[in-house]
A and B are shown apart, each in its own frame.
Chain A
Amino acid sequence: GAGVSQSPSNKVTEKGKDVELRCDPISGHTALYWYRQSLGQGLEFLIYFQGNSAPDKSGLPSDRFSAERTGGSVSTLTIQRTQQEDSAVYLCASSTSDQGSSYNEQFFGPGTRLTVL
């Protein structure tokens, strides 16, 4: 596709349920990022993938959060036993990867709005 896509666009779930959020990066982009945007915490980094590997998981807030990436493309962010504080917009971004450079423009998807009741 032309840009980063995310699904679903909105997700309402009950406390304690598991949810899966999907990100389709721009074709050919090897780097993929997950961020969370919430009222109390602003925009926070969650996890970074290079290919299928996640060299930086430092932003995951708890062990209820996990993510995987397959085929160097689609990524899934899973939140187990959701809590009300997990309510936020989850943004995905992708970029090309240039070894040795810490900058490659990140292109953002529209986000998934998660509401935990």
Chain B
Amino acid sequence: AQSVTQLGSHVSVSEGALVLLRCNYSSSVPPYLFWYVQYPNQGLQLLLKYTTGATLVKGINGFEAEFKKSETSFHLTKPSAHMSDAAEYFCAVTGSARQLTFGSGTQLTVLP
């Protein structure tokens, strides 16, 4: 069984500041981990994924995440926030089952 915890349902950052969205997971098997972004009234778009190999993964729009097995974490970062980054972000995990298990989401606000 898998579960995901996202710390902070709302995060606000200033434009140009570091973005850090936290995700911790629980999995009974080696996990595959994902970050998705959802813009208003749109579906989910994959930002990045960890399957195997390098633990630091880079995604679209300048985002990256690091898989830390010892901390069961997969935090999402971006060095410099843009106004266009304002959206809801979901961390997800899958293991032996094919469906995704999602966290509760983090709404990112970027302040001018």
Instruction: How many A-B residue pairs have C-beta atoms within 8 angstroms? Tell me.
Output: 53
Find out whether the CB atom of B98 lies under 8 angstroms from the CB atom of A56. yes
Contacting B94 at CB < 8 Å: which of A91, A102, A110? Answer: A102
A45–B99 Cα gap in the complex (Å)?
Answer: 7
Given A4-B43, A108-B43, A110-B42, A102 contacting B32 (CB threshold 8 A): yes
Number of chain B interface residues as a range: 20 to 34
B43 contact set on A, CB distance < 8 A = 4, 91, 108-111
- Chain A, Cβ-Cβ closest to B43: A108
B37 to chain A, nearest CB (A): 11
B84 at the interface (CB under 8 A from A): no
Find out whether the CB atom of B105 lies under 8 angstroms from the CB atom of A43. yes
Find out whether the CB atom of B99 lies under 8 angstroms from the CB atom of A33. yes
**Closest 10 A-B residue pairs measured CB to CB?**
A108-B43, A43-B102, A45-B99, A108-B44, A42-B104, A103-B32, A110-B43, A109-B43, A103-B51, A48-B99
* B interface residue numbers (CB < 8 A to A): 32, 36, 41-46, 49, 51, 90, 92, 94-105
